[in-house]
Amino acid sequence: MGRVLGIPVYVNVSMLVLAALVVAVYGGYARSELNLREPLGYFVGVGFVTCLLGSVLLHELGHALTARRFGIGVRGITLELLGGWTEMDRDAPTPKVDALVSLAGPAVSLVLGGLATVAALALPDRTAAGQIAFQLAASNVIVAIFNVLPGLPLDGGRALRAGIWALIKDRNRATVAAGWAGRVLAGGTALLAFWCYSVGLVTLFGLAFVLLVVFTLAQGAGQSIRLARMTGRFPLVELPRLARPLLTVTAGTSLGEAQRRRSEDPRPNVVLAVTDSAGNLTALVDPVAAERVPVDRRPWVAVDSVSRSRDAVPALRLGLTGEQVVRALQAHPAPQYLVTSDDEVVGVLRVGDVAAVLEPHRVRATK
């Protein structure tokens, strides 16, 4: 959409779908309750959606500007189906900062709800302006209250994580605990929604909407738990241990001969590489491309034809910490990476080997 105070703002397609649905529903409501002609009812719906999007944006700006206040960079704000989220370039450095950034959004929503309540009380009843003010007051107060519930991925869950983090001095374990609180919260909300539907307090449409919120909560809680467990394993990502050794063959060597030499090499997980006549490393054999060559054709296919140029393979410097390695993989996705020491290639890191360290249970389950 553009930038607000230098922060890029994006709108997910799901938010546009919700906006169109709200315009349609609210437009019909405005026609029946306010006795407006058909086009005017939908214009009121558009006005309400615009104000609602503005409220969500201000909520996220509360997070973003508070994060900036404590030196945390903000990459962007995304508005989506059930609200929005703010992407920051790093985690909060302390529990106090984590709590303040988390609660800034609900605080903004509560202030907006209060202002809209004052406007709704001041404006005449059964008018377009009065109805929009009332709906904004209700939506912002509900958002503020719902968001402070203690469970990830809600803002209250982040505040809960900050409190547990301050107590146990371990951010990852605190995130796992707050994530499980989010799962319990999602389950409890689902049970409450079904009970309300059974006694006629909510419609079938309302039940479906609440279950969508519950699904999003459970998914976000699970993702938070997964990321926390992965982050806790970052120190196990050690380049000297994970880097696979190289077996070099000269350009023009047949794929069959290169694979024969690799099978006879006593070192485990050897990676085939190609050198020029002077012994300089020029390419890495692509294992996927090599496996696609029929066995009976491999003695006649040169390794060069199933290799990737060295310049096309990202490099990682030996000595990077586990977290630095993972950040580099996220910034430059690739199936394999050269591991270098003083400009000399000492091995190859496969992204699958990193995944096996970070999520051993998931990797074993897929085998």
Express each pLDDT in 89-142 by its tens digit. Answer: 889 999 999 999 999 999 999 999 999 999 989 988 777 778 788 888 988 998
Instruction: Assign 3-state DSSP to the chain and report helix, strand, coil percentages, each to 5.
Output: 65, 15, 20
**Residues 300 and 335 both lie in one domain:** yes
SS3 192: helix
What is the model's pLDDT at position 100?
A: 97
Contacts of residue 1, defined as CB under 8 A and 6 or more positions apart, other chains included, come to 9, 10, 11
Lowest mean pLDDT among 37-51, 196-210, 249-263, 319-333: 37-51
Give the separation between CA 199 and CA 172, rounded to whole angstroms: 41
Q: What is the mean pLDDT of residues 258-286?
A: 92
Domain range holding 356? 239-366
Q: 261 pLDDT exceeds 70?
A: yes
- Domain count along the chain: 2
The enclosing H or E element of 332 equals none
Give the model confidence (pLDDT) of 135-171 as tens digits: 889 889 988 999 999 999 999 999 999 999 999 999 9
Give the model confidence (pLDDT) of 14-42 as tens digits: 777 777 777 777 666 666 666 666 666 67
Q: What is the mean pLDDT of residues 203-210?
A: 84
**Residues 174 and 203 both lie in one domain:** yes
Q: 84 pLDDT exceeds 90?
A: no
Report percent pLDDT > 90 for the chain. 68
Cβ atoms of 66 and 60 within 8 Å: the answer is: no
**Residues 143 and 258 both lie in one domain:** no
**Residues 184 and 286 both lie in one domain:** no
Please give the radius of gyration of the chain, using alpha carbons only, rounded to the nearest integer. 28
Give the separation between CA 223 and CA 181, rounded to whole angstroms: 13
| More confident site: 47 or 215 | 215
Lowest mean pLDDT among 7-16, 311-320, 336-345: 7-16
pTM over 0.75? The answer is yes
Last residue of a domain, one of 234, 253, 275: 234
Strand duo 83-88 + 74-80: pairing: antiparallel
Q: 179 pLDDT exceeds 60?
A: yes
**Residues 148 and 191 both lie in one domain:** yes
**Residues 209 and 290 both lie in one domain:** no
**Residues 279 and 142 both lie in one domain:** no
**Residues 351 and 281 both lie in one domain:** yes
**Residues 181 and 285 both lie in one domain:** no
What is the model's pLDDT at position 264?
A: 94
Give the model confidence (pLDDT) of 282-311 as tens digits: 999 998 999 999 999 999 999 999 999 999
Give the separation between CA 133 and CA 120, rounded to whole angstroms: 5
**Residues 173 and 244 both lie in one domain:** no
Q: 331 pLDDT exceeds 90?
A: no
Give the separation between CA 285 and CA 336, rounded to whole angstroms: 11
What is the model's pLDDT at position 123?
A: 87
Last residue of a domain, one of 205, 234, 263: 234
The enclosing H or E element of 84 equals strand 83-88
Task: Establish whether the linkage from the previous residue to 93 is cis, with ω within 30° of 0.
Answer: no
**Residues 160 and 56 both lie in one domain:** yes
Give the model confidence (pLDDT) of 27-80 as tens digits: 666 666 666 666 666 777 777 778 888 899 999 999 999 999 999 999 999 988
Last residue of a domain, one of 196, 213, 234: 234
**Residues 174 and 274 both lie in one domain:** no
What is the model's pLDDT at position 21?
A: 76
CATH label of the domain that carries residue 294: 3.10.580.10
